[in-house]
Structure 1
Amino acid sequence: MNLVRSELLKIRTTNAWWLLGLGAFLSLVLAFAFNAFYAHQVLGGNAEEFGASGEAATVAGQAANIYTSGQFLGLLFVMLIGILMVTNEFFHQTATTTFLTTPRRTSVIVAKLIAASLLGFAFWLVTTLINLAAGAIFLTVDGHGAQLGEWTVHRALLFNLLAYAIWTILGVGIGTLIPNQLGAVITAAVLYLVGTQVVQLLFLALSAWLDSQAILKWQVVWPAVASLVMISGEKSDILPAWWVGALVLIGYALASGVVGVLITRRRDIA
């Protein structure tokens, strides 16, 4: 726990956490405004026009979407925090001191993984409380009720928490793979933002080429898509079941943690 507290102290004493927190808040505001508009249109009788069907066209489905607003960019920001927890050691040249103080490198990485998960939980808690307050007011005023007793909403919130925890762990794994801070941040951001769109376009093109919508389900192998699938709860011709997204993300988290430990144990620290 002393190691975990020290990792949290390292983040708290830099500007990174509140800058990324501010970015997460701004993205939440924009996403909430869009999701509220979308829900108003879908629940107002325009579901087919806006492409909503199945669970997504229900009040509970739209409530779940509203209460998890800002997830896409929020996960990017917590991933960057995980990256900074590792790369800051090399950027500020504190890695030598850290590993001399705690020669067991596995313990250091495990502490970073635990601290990263706690930070992911903190980001999830703050954004969820904001979404719950604003979302309950919007849904009540719109005449649908808060929907807080629905399992669809509970499931979305719980798996959103899992997504935030896993993406901070993935950030730690990326930081161990690419110790250069600027390189790690740029690579991760480009893969997340641009890579996700490229993967979706590739699967769309492959689906059209093979004339099979079932191909689209395989885009869940990309972690950003898996996060969206996990909280959507909807199974369709183009989306697998929510638990598939959960398994994919858990697999990435386990692989990231193991790789991070193995690389750090073997790396020369100058």
Structure 2
Amino acid sequence: VLFIGDSTNRGMMYFLMERVNSSLKDWGKAHDTLVYQNLNGGRTQVSYSYYPQFWLEKNERPTFREALLQLIHRSQPLLNSNQTILVVGGVQWLNTNHLRTVQEVLDRESLGDILVVVKSLGMGFHLPVDGIRSLSLTEIQNLFRENEDIISTAEHLGYEAIDTFGITMGRHKEFLQGRCACHFHEVEKLRSSKPPDSLASTTKWTRTTQTGPGTGLSSLSTVQDTDQAGGTFHIRGPVNQVYSEILLSRLCLRAREEVIR
């Protein structure tokens, strides 16, 4: 399962990891690339790439095409079937051009038969927060129309679409506290009297580090998450849970259809 997008996609990834493994042993506030290979008894790999890298100067940011290709190459080997899943989406940067880029890249990489799930737009900047931009009513209306176009394009391309715009708009009181006001999950460490098992104490995750100015792309390295190793964590947040459950239902539905065939 490959995820590309901002922190809302990262929250979905950790929810899925906790559900599949019945616990969450590793997590990180990654703004780069992560690869986890310890899911489902070692049978499932999950990778994640943060996009867009808004903190870089515009001429240094990797394009969506570059970020997607980097994620695909670092997640190899991949099967060209619905056993490989790409989840793409974010709060307010996604548009229909990104979906067409997904189709072009997958065809080029001979991955045209994988399952693509598009998480549509979400709210998060319609509430006034000091130091952070907020949207006007006209901008919110434009965002609604853009969201409709994204869902229509995704369905036209044969992709699954999760409409998160209405979910996040209607549940704004459940946004978690934070300056950006667009995160719908948080991670809590669970207290336990049990000593950490071998998996928790030795699990490593891979992340990328910047190779140099001007490229925005990264090299891959493996690091031990010493601050978080040895613990068990839980993903909290009702909004994140709602659309993560929808994601799981879509994946399980495709699996059932494959068995029936």
Same fold (TM over 0.5): no
Q: Which has the larger radius of gyration?
A: 1
Higher strand share: 2
TM-score where L is the length of structure 1: 0.29
Q: Which has the higher helix share?
A: 1
